[in-house]
Amino acid sequence: MRKGILLLILASLLFDFQILSAQENQSSSSNENAPADSVKPKSRLTIGGYGEAVYKYNFYSDNMFRYSHAEKYANAKGHGRVDLPHAVFLMSYDFGKGWTFNAEIEFEHGGTEAAVEVEAEETGEFEKEIERGGEVALEQFWLQKSFLDSKINIRAGHIVVPVGGTNNAHLPNEFFGVYRPEGENTIIPCTWHETGIELWGRIKGWRYDLMVIPALNSNMFNASNWIQNGSASPYEFKVANKLALAARIDNYSVKGLHIGVSGYVGNCFRNDIITDGKASKYDKVKGTVAIGSIDFSYKHKGFVLRGSGLYGHLSDAGLISTYNASQVNSSQSPYPHTLVGKAAWTAGCEAGYDFFTLLKENSKAKDQKFFVFVRYEYYDSYVPVADATPYSWSERHCVSGGINYRPIPEITIKAEGGVRLLHSQYNQEPWMALGITWAAFFKHEKVK
C-alpha cells in the first residue's frame, strides 16, 4: 500500500518530453490538438499526462497454438478484454539560464501488483501473489542545456528514441486507432527509451536529433517481435558493452505538412552479461541492426492523412538464432530461445475527415471534432535466412475503420473495427474496440 502511495506521489512529479517538444515548437507540431498547443506562456513548472482506457473484443481464439494448428480453432469462440494501455504522468521544470529537467513515469496495462501475504486460514503460510500484470517504467529522466534560442540543445539521461513514426508521435491524440499502429509496435521497441546523450535543435522549418545510446541485446530477439524486446534488460542495469547511433530529421516548411526521416545502427551481439567466449564460430559475429524509416502527416481543412514505412535488417541472423537456442533454458531464464529473422518491415497509412468542419461558425459544436477514418497496415516480423524455418503467420495485413469524437481538445472517444488478414492456411482475425483517451496539463506555472 505504501509503495503504491509513493508511486502516485512520484507520478505527479514527472513529465513527457513529447508534450514539452510540442509546447516549445507550436508552429511545427504534428498534432493540431496536442495539449501543449493551448499553453503559450513560458513555464517554469509544468505537470501533465495522458492515458487510455479500452474495451476490445476479438472474434477469434487467442490460443497459443492457433497458428501451428489453425484447423482446430477455425470455429473457436472469441474473447473480450479491458485494458489500460498507458497511464502517464509527466513533469518539466525550467531552472533558468538554459537548464531544464524532464521526466515521465508510465503505467502500462494497469501497472503491476505483487504482494506477499500471510494466510491465517492456512496456518500462517506465506503466499506470493501477482494480482495484475503490466509494467511500471521510468521512460524519461533527463537534464538539458539549451544554446542559441534552442538551435542547439544537449540532453543527457533517459530519453525517448524517436525512430519511426509512432515513437515520435505516440500520444493517443496523435493517431486515430484505439491502439497504437500495430506494425511498428510489433517489430521495434515502442515507446523506445534508452539512457544516453542527445544533440538536437530547431533551425527555421527543420529539426534534427542525434543520439548515442546503448546497443540492443540480441539475446532478447525473437520471431514474433523481431528486435522489439532487445531494448529491455532483465537486470537492475542496462548492459552497454556496445553503443549505437540513432538520428532523426524533421521538416515543417510546407504549411500543414510534416515529413520525418529517422534511422538506427548498432552491433547487438554479446551485448549482455551472458557471453560465450569459447565458440570460435561466433568470433566474427557482430549482429548489426540497421533501421531506416520515413513518416509524414498532412492536414488541410478537416482532412488528416498520416503514413509511415520502416525497414530493418539484422546481419548474422542465422548464427544469432543458433547462439540464442544454445543459451541455458531454465524457468528463470529471461531469453526467448527462438529464431530471429534477417529483416522485418512495416508500412501503413490512415486517413480521416472531421465532419464538424462543415458546421457553421455559430454552431455549438464548432469547437468539437468528429473524425471518420480508415486505416491500412502491412508488416512482417520475420524474414528468415536461407534454409531457416519459415513462419508465414508473421506476414499480416491489417484493415480497420472507425470514428474519433473530441468533445473538448483534451478528450477523445474512439470506436474502431477491423480485421487482421493472414495467409489462407490461417484463420482471419476480426475485432472491434472502444476507447476513451486524454492528454492534458494539470498545472502550468508561469515564469515570474
Question: Picking from 57-66, 232-241, 296-305, which range would have the lowest pLDDT averaged per residue?
Answer: 232-241
Q: At a CB cut-off of 8 Å and minimum separation 6, what does 148 contact?
A: 201
Q: Identify which of 136, 262, 98 has the alpha carbon closest to the alpha carbon of residue 188.
A: 262
**Amino acid letter, 304:** V
pLDDT, tens digit (0-9, with 9 covering 90-100), for 323-345:
888 876 655 667 788 899 999 99
| C-alpha cell recorded at residue 199 | 544533440
Question: Picking from 235-244, 283-292, 363-372, 390-399, which range would have the lowest pLDDT averaged per residue?
Answer: 363-372
Where residue 39 falls among pLDDT bands split at 50, 70, 90? very low
**What's the mean pLDDT in 86-106?**
94
Where residue 2 falls among pLDDT bands split at 50, 70, 90? very low
Return d(Cα 408, Cα 313) in angstroms, integer: 43
| C-alpha cell recorded at residue 316 | 548474422
Return d(Cα 275, Cα 326) in angstroms, integer: 11
Q: What is the CATH number of the domain that holds 68?
A: 2.40.160.10
pLDDT at residue number 131: 65
Return d(Cα 7, Cα 16) in angstroms, integer: 16
pLDDT at 40 over 80: no
| C-alpha cell recorded at residue 220 | 532478447
pLDDT at residue number 17: 35
Return d(Cα 139, Cα 90) in angstroms, integer: 10
Residue 373's domain spans which residues?
Answer: 2-446
Q: Identify which of 147, 36, 160 has the alpha carbon closest to the alpha carbon of residue 99.
A: 147
**What's the mean pLDDT in 205-226?**
96
238 versus 416: the higher-pLDDT residue is 416
438 versus 29: the higher-pLDDT residue is 438
Cβ–Cβ < 8 Å for 193, 139:
yes
Write down the mean pLDDT value for the chain: 86
pLDDT, tens digit (0-9, with 9 covering 90-100), for 114-147:
655 555 554 556 566 666 677 888 899 999 999 9
Domains identified in the chain, total number: 1
